[in-house]
Structure 1
Amino acid sequence: MLCTNKQKCILPKLREVLIQYTKAAIQTQPPDLLQWSADYFTAVALGDIPPVKQGQERRPWSKWKDLTPELLKVLHQRVGRRLIINADELAHMWKSLNLPKDLFASVINVGYFTEEIEWLKFLALACRPIGVVKTLKILCEVLSGDYDDPRIPFSTLQFLYTYIAEKDGEISASHVRQVLNYLEQEIIGPDGLIKVSDFTQNPQVRLE
Protein backbone atom coordinates (compact mmCIF):
# COMPACT_ATOMS: atom_id res chain seq x y z
CA MET A 1 0.00 0.00 0.00
CA LEU A 2 1.40 3.46 -0.98
CA CYS A 3 1.18 6.30 1.53
CA THR A 4 1.86 10.02 1.28
CA ASN A 5 3.00 12.24 4.13
CA LYS A 6 -0.56 13.43 4.61
CA GLN A 7 -2.06 9.93 4.72
CA LYS A 8 -2.16 7.26 7.35
CA CYS A 9 -1.48 3.71 6.18
CA ILE A 10 -4.33 1.37 7.06
CA LEU A 11 -3.75 -2.36 6.88
CA PRO A 12 -6.15 -3.92 4.34
CA LYS A 13 -7.61 -6.39 6.87
CA LEU A 14 -7.72 -4.01 9.84
CA ARG A 15 -11.27 -2.81 9.18
CA GLU A 16 -12.70 -6.35 9.05
CA VAL A 17 -10.72 -7.40 12.14
CA LEU A 18 -12.06 -4.45 14.11
CA ILE A 19 -15.63 -5.05 12.93
CA GLN A 20 -15.52 -8.69 14.03
CA TYR A 21 -13.88 -7.75 17.33
CA THR A 22 -16.52 -5.08 18.05
CA LYS A 23 -19.40 -7.43 17.24
CA ALA A 24 -17.88 -10.12 19.45
CA ALA A 25 -17.38 -7.68 22.35
CA ILE A 26 -20.97 -6.43 22.13
CA GLN A 27 -22.27 -10.00 21.97
CA THR A 28 -20.16 -11.19 24.92
CA GLN A 29 -20.30 -8.13 27.20
CA PRO A 30 -17.15 -9.18 29.12
CA PRO A 31 -16.76 -7.76 32.67
CA ASP A 32 -13.02 -7.21 32.11
CA LEU A 33 -12.75 -5.87 28.57
CA LEU A 34 -8.95 -5.61 28.54
CA GLN A 35 -8.37 -9.20 29.66
CA TRP A 36 -11.08 -10.48 27.34
CA SER A 37 -9.54 -8.53 24.44
CA ALA A 38 -6.15 -10.08 25.14
CA ASP A 39 -7.71 -13.57 25.19
CA TYR A 40 -9.71 -12.79 22.03
CA PHE A 41 -6.76 -11.69 19.91
CA THR A 42 -4.54 -14.46 21.27
CA ALA A 43 -7.11 -17.04 20.16
CA VAL A 44 -7.46 -15.38 16.74
CA ALA A 45 -3.68 -15.31 16.27
CA LEU A 46 -3.42 -19.01 17.17
CA GLY A 47 -6.33 -20.00 14.97
CA ASP A 48 -8.42 -21.08 17.97
CA ILE A 49 -12.06 -20.28 18.73
CA PRO A 50 -12.21 -16.89 20.49
CA PRO A 51 -14.04 -16.52 23.83
CA VAL A 52 -17.30 -15.27 22.33
CA LYS A 53 -20.79 -16.07 23.59
CA GLN A 54 -23.80 -17.47 21.72
CA GLY A 55 -24.37 -16.28 18.13
CA GLN A 56 -20.77 -15.38 17.37
CA GLU A 57 -19.32 -18.61 18.68
CA ARG A 58 -19.16 -21.12 15.86
CA ARG A 59 -17.16 -24.19 15.07
CA PRO A 60 -16.29 -25.27 11.53
CA TRP A 61 -18.61 -27.96 10.21
CA SER A 62 -15.52 -30.12 9.52
CA LYS A 63 -15.23 -30.68 13.26
CA TRP A 64 -18.87 -31.83 13.42
CA LYS A 65 -18.78 -34.25 10.49
CA ASP A 66 -19.15 -37.28 12.78
CA LEU A 67 -22.53 -36.02 13.96
CA THR A 68 -24.60 -37.31 11.04
CA PRO A 69 -28.41 -37.11 10.73
CA GLU A 70 -28.48 -40.88 11.18
CA LEU A 71 -26.71 -40.65 14.55
CA LEU A 72 -28.95 -37.80 15.63
CA LYS A 73 -31.91 -39.99 14.76
CA VAL A 74 -30.49 -42.78 16.94
CA LEU A 75 -30.03 -40.34 19.81
CA HIS A 76 -33.59 -39.11 19.39
CA GLN A 77 -34.93 -42.65 19.43
CA ARG A 78 -33.01 -43.41 22.63
CA VAL A 79 -34.32 -40.28 24.31
CA GLY A 80 -37.80 -41.41 23.38
CA ARG A 81 -40.69 -39.03 23.91
CA ARG A 82 -39.06 -37.21 26.80
CA LEU A 83 -38.81 -33.43 26.62
CA ILE A 84 -36.24 -33.27 29.42
CA ILE A 85 -33.25 -35.57 29.85
CA ASN A 86 -30.56 -35.78 32.49
CA ALA A 87 -27.17 -34.50 31.33
CA ASP A 88 -25.28 -37.55 32.61
CA GLU A 89 -27.66 -39.92 30.84
CA LEU A 90 -27.35 -38.01 27.58
CA ALA A 91 -23.57 -37.92 27.94
CA HIS A 92 -23.59 -41.72 28.28
CA MET A 93 -25.72 -42.06 25.12
CA TRP A 94 -23.34 -39.73 23.32
CA LYS A 95 -20.31 -41.73 24.41
CA SER A 96 -21.92 -45.03 23.39
CA LEU A 97 -22.11 -43.72 19.82
CA ASN A 98 -18.39 -42.84 19.89
CA LEU A 99 -19.08 -39.15 19.29
CA PRO A 100 -16.34 -36.65 20.24
CA LYS A 101 -16.53 -35.37 23.80
CA ASP A 102 -15.62 -31.82 22.79
CA LEU A 103 -18.71 -31.59 20.59
CA PHE A 104 -20.93 -32.56 23.51
CA ALA A 105 -19.21 -30.00 25.72
CA SER A 106 -19.62 -27.33 23.03
CA VAL A 107 -23.38 -27.88 22.75
CA ILE A 108 -23.72 -27.85 26.53
CA ASN A 109 -21.80 -24.59 26.78
CA VAL A 110 -23.60 -22.80 23.96
CA GLY A 111 -26.99 -23.84 25.33
CA TYR A 112 -26.08 -23.06 28.95
CA PHE A 113 -27.47 -26.46 29.88
CA THR A 114 -27.08 -27.81 33.41
CA GLU A 115 -28.26 -31.09 34.94
CA GLU A 116 -31.61 -31.10 33.16
CA ILE A 117 -31.48 -30.63 29.39
CA GLU A 118 -34.35 -29.61 27.12
CA TRP A 119 -33.90 -32.23 24.44
CA LEU A 120 -35.25 -30.28 21.45
CA LYS A 121 -32.94 -27.36 22.25
CA PHE A 122 -29.95 -29.68 22.53
CA LEU A 123 -30.90 -31.34 19.25
CA ALA A 124 -31.22 -27.96 17.54
CA LEU A 125 -27.82 -26.78 18.75
CA ALA A 126 -26.20 -30.05 17.72
CA CYS A 127 -27.08 -29.16 14.10
CA ARG A 128 -26.36 -25.45 14.44
CA PRO A 129 -23.03 -25.06 12.56
CA ILE A 130 -24.55 -25.97 9.18
CA GLY A 131 -26.98 -23.06 8.96
CA VAL A 132 -30.63 -22.42 9.83
CA VAL A 133 -32.32 -23.98 6.78
CA LYS A 134 -30.26 -27.19 6.79
CA THR A 135 -30.63 -27.44 10.56
CA LEU A 136 -34.42 -27.27 10.38
CA LYS A 137 -34.46 -29.76 7.50
CA ILE A 138 -32.40 -32.28 9.50
CA LEU A 139 -34.53 -31.70 12.59
CA CYS A 140 -37.67 -32.45 10.59
CA GLU A 141 -36.10 -35.66 9.31
CA VAL A 142 -34.96 -36.73 12.77
CA LEU A 143 -38.21 -35.88 14.54
CA SER A 144 -40.46 -37.45 11.89
CA GLY A 145 -38.23 -40.42 11.04
CA ASP A 146 -38.93 -39.68 7.37
CA TYR A 147 -36.36 -38.54 4.79
CA ASP A 148 -38.81 -37.97 1.94
CA ASP A 149 -40.24 -34.49 2.52
CA PRO A 150 -40.86 -35.11 6.24
CA ARG A 151 -43.57 -33.32 8.22
CA ILE A 152 -43.67 -32.13 11.82
CA PRO A 153 -46.20 -30.10 13.84
CA PHE A 154 -46.01 -26.42 12.98
CA SER A 155 -45.86 -25.61 16.70
CA THR A 156 -42.62 -27.61 16.90
CA LEU A 157 -41.14 -25.70 13.97
CA GLN A 158 -42.15 -22.41 15.65
CA PHE A 159 -40.28 -23.40 18.78
CA LEU A 160 -37.17 -24.63 16.96
CA TYR A 161 -36.89 -21.75 14.48
CA THR A 162 -37.35 -19.13 17.21
CA TYR A 163 -34.70 -20.78 19.39
CA ILE A 164 -32.20 -21.29 16.57
CA ALA A 165 -32.62 -17.71 15.37
CA GLU A 166 -32.07 -16.43 18.90
CA LYS A 167 -28.85 -18.42 19.22
CA ASP A 168 -27.73 -17.40 15.75
CA GLY A 169 -27.80 -13.79 16.84
CA GLU A 170 -28.10 -12.38 13.32
CA ILE A 171 -31.80 -13.00 12.58
CA SER A 172 -34.14 -10.39 14.04
CA ALA A 173 -37.13 -11.36 16.13
CA SER A 174 -39.37 -9.35 13.79
CA HIS A 175 -38.15 -11.35 10.79
CA VAL A 176 -38.85 -14.61 12.63
CA ARG A 177 -42.39 -13.46 13.46
CA GLN A 178 -42.99 -12.41 9.86
CA VAL A 179 -41.88 -15.78 8.49
CA LEU A 180 -43.90 -17.76 11.02
CA ASN A 181 -47.03 -15.65 10.48
CA TYR A 182 -46.80 -16.22 6.73
CA LEU A 183 -46.37 -19.96 7.13
CA GLU A 184 -49.24 -20.21 9.60
CA GLN A 185 -51.66 -18.15 7.53
CA GLU A 186 -50.75 -19.21 3.99
CA ILE A 187 -49.21 -22.69 4.21
CA ILE A 188 -50.38 -24.72 7.18
CA GLY A 189 -53.46 -26.84 6.59
CA PRO A 190 -56.07 -28.23 9.00
CA ASP A 191 -53.72 -30.99 10.18
CA GLY A 192 -51.31 -28.40 11.64
CA LEU A 193 -48.30 -30.04 10.00
CA ILE A 194 -45.53 -28.44 7.95
CA LYS A 195 -43.38 -30.12 5.30
CA VAL A 196 -39.72 -29.43 4.63
CA SER A 197 -40.60 -28.29 1.11
CA ASP A 198 -42.90 -25.64 2.61
CA PHE A 199 -39.91 -23.66 3.82
CA THR A 200 -37.12 -24.86 1.50
CA GLN A 201 -38.84 -24.60 -1.90
CA ASN A 202 -41.16 -21.66 -1.31
CA PRO A 203 -39.70 -18.43 -2.78
CA GLN A 204 -41.79 -16.41 -0.32
CA VAL A 205 -39.98 -17.91 2.67
CA ARG A 206 -36.50 -16.71 3.60
CA LEU A 207 -35.45 -18.12 6.97
CA GLU A 208 -32.04 -16.44 7.14
Structure 2
Amino acid sequence: MLCTNKQKCILPKLREVLIQYTKAAIQTQPPDLLQWSADYFTAVALGDIPPVKQEQERGPWSKWKDLTPEVLKKLHQRVGGRLIISADELAHLWKSVKLPKDLFASIINVGCFTEEIEWLKFLALACRPIGVIIAETLKIICEVLSGDHNDGPPRIPFSTFQFLYTYIAEKDGEISASHVSRMLNYIEQEIIGPDGLIKVSDFTQNPQVRLE
Protein backbone atom coordinates (compact mmCIF):
# COMPACT_ATOMS: atom_id res chain seq x y z
CA MET A 1 0.00 0.00 0.00
CA LEU A 2 1.35 3.43 -0.99
CA CYS A 3 1.80 5.99 1.71
CA THR A 4 0.25 9.41 1.22
CA ASN A 5 2.01 12.66 2.05
CA LYS A 6 -0.35 13.03 4.99
CA GLN A 7 0.72 9.65 6.38
CA LYS A 8 4.37 10.59 6.05
CA CYS A 9 3.68 13.68 8.12
CA ILE A 10 1.74 11.89 10.85
CA LEU A 11 3.94 8.83 11.46
CA PRO A 12 7.02 10.68 12.79
CA LYS A 13 4.77 12.51 15.25
CA LEU A 14 3.23 9.22 16.34
CA ARG A 15 6.69 7.77 16.90
CA GLU A 16 7.65 10.75 19.09
CA VAL A 17 4.43 10.44 21.09
CA LEU A 18 5.10 6.74 21.72
CA ILE A 19 8.72 7.39 22.69
CA GLN A 20 7.68 9.99 25.26
CA TYR A 21 4.91 7.73 26.55
CA THR A 22 7.30 4.78 26.96
CA LYS A 23 9.86 6.90 28.78
CA ALA A 24 7.18 8.33 31.08
CA ALA A 25 5.85 4.84 31.86
CA ILE A 26 9.32 3.52 32.71
CA GLN A 27 10.05 6.59 34.84
CA THR A 28 6.73 6.50 36.70
CA GLN A 29 6.26 2.70 36.96
CA PRO A 30 2.48 2.98 37.63
CA PRO A 31 0.87 0.03 39.44
CA ASP A 32 -2.22 0.32 37.18
CA LEU A 33 -0.71 0.88 33.74
CA LEU A 34 -4.04 1.05 31.85
CA GLN A 35 -5.55 3.70 34.12
CA TRP A 36 -2.33 5.68 34.15
CA SER A 37 -2.15 5.50 30.34
CA ALA A 38 -5.69 6.85 30.06
CA ASP A 39 -4.82 9.73 32.42
CA TYR A 40 -1.56 10.35 30.54
CA PHE A 41 -3.10 10.66 27.07
CA THR A 42 -6.04 12.66 28.40
CA ALA A 43 -3.60 15.19 29.87
CA VAL A 44 -1.60 15.30 26.63
CA ALA A 45 -4.77 15.86 24.58
CA LEU A 46 -5.88 18.71 26.86
CA GLY A 47 -2.47 20.31 26.94
CA ASP A 48 -2.06 19.61 30.67
CA ILE A 49 0.99 18.21 32.46
CA PRO A 50 0.95 14.37 32.24
CA PRO A 51 1.00 12.35 35.49
CA VAL A 52 4.72 11.57 35.30
CA LYS A 53 6.77 11.22 38.45
CA GLN A 54 10.15 12.90 38.38
CA GLU A 55 13.11 10.71 39.16
CA GLN A 56 13.98 12.67 42.29
CA GLU A 57 10.43 12.14 43.53
CA ARG A 58 10.66 8.40 43.07
CA GLY A 59 14.04 7.83 44.63
CA PRO A 60 16.19 4.99 43.32
CA TRP A 61 14.05 2.28 44.91
CA SER A 62 10.66 3.91 44.40
CA LYS A 63 7.59 2.01 45.55
CA TRP A 64 9.02 -1.20 44.08
CA LYS A 65 10.94 -1.98 47.24
CA ASP A 66 10.72 -5.73 46.58
CA LEU A 67 12.69 -5.34 43.35
CA THR A 68 16.40 -5.53 44.22
CA PRO A 69 19.56 -6.57 42.37
CA GLU A 70 19.79 -9.64 44.60
CA VAL A 71 16.28 -10.78 43.66
CA LEU A 72 16.96 -10.15 39.98
CA LYS A 73 20.15 -12.20 40.21
CA LYS A 74 18.16 -15.06 41.70
CA LEU A 75 15.61 -14.72 38.90
CA HIS A 76 18.39 -14.72 36.29
CA GLN A 77 19.79 -17.92 37.74
CA ARG A 78 16.38 -19.56 37.44
CA VAL A 79 16.08 -18.48 33.82
CA GLY A 80 19.15 -20.64 33.35
CA GLY A 81 21.05 -18.84 30.63
CA ARG A 82 18.22 -18.87 28.07
CA LEU A 83 17.89 -15.95 25.70
CA ILE A 84 14.19 -16.54 25.02
CA ILE A 85 11.61 -17.60 27.59
CA SER A 86 7.85 -17.94 27.40
CA ALA A 87 5.74 -15.32 29.15
CA ASP A 88 3.93 -18.00 31.16
CA GLU A 89 7.14 -19.55 32.46
CA LEU A 90 8.66 -16.17 33.27
CA ALA A 91 5.50 -15.19 35.15
CA HIS A 92 5.86 -18.41 37.18
CA LEU A 93 9.54 -17.68 37.93
CA TRP A 94 8.65 -14.09 38.82
CA LYS A 95 6.11 -15.38 41.31
CA SER A 96 8.62 -17.87 42.71
CA VAL A 97 10.90 -15.02 43.83
CA LYS A 98 7.90 -13.25 45.40
CA LEU A 99 7.81 -10.17 43.18
CA PRO A 100 4.56 -8.19 42.65
CA LYS A 101 2.30 -9.34 39.84
CA ASP A 102 1.43 -5.77 38.83
CA LEU A 103 5.11 -4.92 38.39
CA PHE A 104 5.50 -7.90 36.04
CA ALA A 105 2.49 -6.68 34.03
CA SER A 106 3.96 -3.17 33.88
CA ILE A 107 7.28 -4.40 32.46
CA ILE A 108 5.47 -6.61 29.94
CA ASN A 109 3.42 -3.64 28.74
CA VAL A 110 6.30 -1.17 28.59
CA GLY A 111 8.42 -3.67 26.65
CA CYS A 112 5.53 -4.65 24.37
CA PHE A 113 6.40 -8.29 25.06
CA THR A 114 4.15 -11.08 23.81
CA GLU A 115 4.27 -14.86 24.27
CA GLU A 116 8.02 -15.17 23.68
CA ILE A 117 10.20 -12.79 25.71
CA GLU A 118 13.80 -11.78 25.09
CA TRP A 119 15.17 -12.22 28.58
CA LEU A 120 17.90 -9.57 28.37
CA LYS A 121 15.42 -6.91 27.27
CA PHE A 122 13.03 -7.85 30.07
CA LEU A 123 15.91 -7.76 32.57
CA ALA A 124 16.98 -4.32 31.32
CA LEU A 125 13.51 -2.88 31.91
CA ALA A 126 13.32 -4.57 35.31
CA CYS A 127 16.61 -2.94 36.34
CA ARG A 128 15.65 0.51 35.01
CA PRO A 129 13.54 1.70 38.00
CA ILE A 130 16.30 0.58 40.37
CA GLY A 131 19.14 2.26 38.54
CA VAL A 132 17.34 5.51 37.62
CA ILE A 133 20.20 6.73 35.39
CA ILE A 134 21.44 4.58 32.50
CA ALA A 135 24.96 4.05 33.88
CA GLU A 136 23.53 2.79 37.18
CA THR A 137 21.04 0.57 35.33
CA LEU A 138 23.84 -1.00 33.28
CA LYS A 139 25.93 -1.42 36.44
CA ILE A 140 23.11 -3.44 38.03
CA ILE A 141 22.62 -5.50 34.87
CA CYS A 142 26.35 -6.21 34.76
CA GLU A 143 26.30 -7.39 38.37
CA VAL A 144 23.26 -9.61 37.72
CA LEU A 145 24.68 -11.17 34.56
CA SER A 146 28.27 -11.62 35.65
CA GLY A 147 27.62 -13.86 38.63
CA ASP A 148 30.16 -14.05 41.43
CA HIS A 149 33.81 -13.43 40.55
CA ASN A 150 36.46 -14.21 43.09
CA ASP A 151 39.21 -12.99 40.77
CA GLY A 152 37.95 -9.52 39.93
CA PRO A 153 35.03 -7.12 39.51
CA PRO A 154 31.78 -7.97 37.70
CA ARG A 155 32.18 -7.98 33.93
CA ILE A 156 30.21 -9.01 30.86
CA PRO A 157 30.97 -9.38 27.14
CA PHE A 158 31.11 -6.04 25.36
CA SER A 159 28.66 -7.37 22.76
CA THR A 160 26.08 -7.88 25.54
CA PHE A 161 26.75 -4.39 26.91
CA GLN A 162 26.37 -2.95 23.41
CA PHE A 163 23.01 -4.66 22.94
CA LEU A 164 21.67 -3.57 26.33
CA TYR A 165 22.89 0.04 26.15
CA THR A 166 21.37 0.44 22.68
CA TYR A 167 18.06 -1.01 23.84
CA ILE A 168 17.81 1.08 27.01
CA ALA A 169 18.76 4.27 25.16
CA GLU A 170 16.11 3.53 22.54
CA LYS A 171 13.48 3.04 25.24
CA ASP A 172 14.63 6.18 27.04
CA GLY A 173 13.89 8.20 23.92
CA GLU A 174 16.10 11.22 24.62
CA ILE A 175 19.52 9.83 23.76
CA SER A 176 20.37 10.08 20.09
CA ALA A 177 21.52 7.05 18.13
CA SER A 178 24.62 8.99 17.08
CA HIS A 179 25.60 9.58 20.73
CA VAL A 180 25.14 5.90 21.54
CA SER A 181 27.26 4.98 18.52
CA ARG A 182 30.05 7.38 19.55
CA MET A 183 30.15 6.03 23.10
CA LEU A 184 30.20 2.43 21.96
CA ASN A 185 32.93 3.10 19.41
CA TYR A 186 35.06 4.84 22.04
CA ILE A 187 34.60 2.04 24.57
CA GLU A 188 35.37 -0.64 22.00
CA GLN A 189 38.47 1.08 20.62
CA GLU A 190 39.95 2.66 23.76
CA ILE A 191 38.83 0.49 26.68
CA ILE A 192 37.98 -3.09 25.74
CA GLY A 193 40.91 -5.45 25.96
CA PRO A 194 41.61 -8.67 24.06
CA ASP A 195 39.25 -10.63 26.32
CA GLY A 196 36.29 -8.66 24.94
CA LEU A 197 34.89 -7.97 28.42
CA ILE A 198 33.72 -4.72 29.98
CA LYS A 199 33.90 -3.91 33.71
CA VAL A 200 31.58 -1.62 35.63
CA SER A 201 34.40 0.85 36.25
CA ASP A 202 34.97 1.12 32.49
CA PHE A 203 31.71 3.02 32.05
CA THR A 204 31.16 4.52 35.52
CA GLN A 205 34.59 5.94 36.39
CA ASN A 206 35.94 7.00 33.00
CA PRO A 207 35.21 10.74 32.43
CA GLN A 208 35.27 10.18 28.67
CA VAL A 209 32.30 7.82 28.86
CA ARG A 210 29.01 9.70 29.20
CA LEU A 211 26.18 7.30 28.49
CA GLU A 212 23.41 9.91 28.74
Normalised TM-score (structure 2): 0.73
User: 2:162 matched to which residue of 1?
Assistant: 158
Q: 1 or 2 for the larger relative contact order (CA 8 Å, sep ≥6)?
A: 2
Per-residue CA deviations over 1:63-122 (Å, capped at 9, x if unaligned) read 222110000000000001100000011001111222111110111011100000000000
Per-residue CA deviations over 1:112-136 (Å, capped at 9, x if unaligned) read 0000000000000001122211110
User: 2:191 matched to which residue of 1?
Assistant: 187
The CA distance in 1 between the partners of 2:41 and 2:82, in whole Å, is 41
User: 2:18 matched to which residue of 1?
Assistant: 28
> Does the CA contact (< 8 Å) of 2:40 and 2:51 recur in 1?
no
The CA distance in 2 between the partners of 1:109 and 1:96, in whole Å, is 21
Q: Secondary structure at 2:208's aligned position in 1?
A: coil
User: 1:169 matched to which residue of 2?
Assistant: 173
Code of the residue aligned with 2:192 in structure 1: it is: I
The CA distance in 2 between the partners of 1:163 and 1:63, in whole Å, is 24
User: 2:182 matched to which residue of 1?
Assistant: 178
Q: Give runs of aligned pairs for residues 25-174 of structure 1, distance below 5 A.
A: 26-28=16-18, 37-38=41-42, 40=44, 60=58, 61-129=61-129, 130-146=132-148, 149-174=153-178
Higher Rg of the two aligned structures: 1
Code of the residue aligned with 1:205 in structure 2: it is: V
Per-residue CA deviations over 1:9-54 (Å, capped at 9, x if unaligned) read xxxxxxxxxxxxxx99942399xxxx97535579x88x9559xxxx
User: 2:8 matched to which residue of 1?
Assistant: none
Code of the residue aligned with 1:146 in structure 2: it is: D
The CA distance in 2 between the partners of 1:194 and 1:36, in whole Å, is 38
Cα offset for 1:149?
A: 2.6
> Does the CA contact (< 8 Å) of 2:142 and 2:155 recur in 1?
yes
Code of the residue aligned with 2:160 in structure 1: it is: T
Per-residue CA deviations over 1:174-208 (Å, capped at 9, x if unaligned) read 00000000000000111000110000000100011
The CA distance in 2 between the partners of 1:101 and 1:115, in whole Å, is 17
Code of the residue aligned with 1:83 in structure 2: it is: L
Q: Secondary structure at 1:64's aligned position in 2?
A: coil
RMSD value, Cα = 3.0
Normalised TM-score (structure 1): 0.74
User: 2:10 matched to which residue of 1?
Assistant: none
Identity %: 73
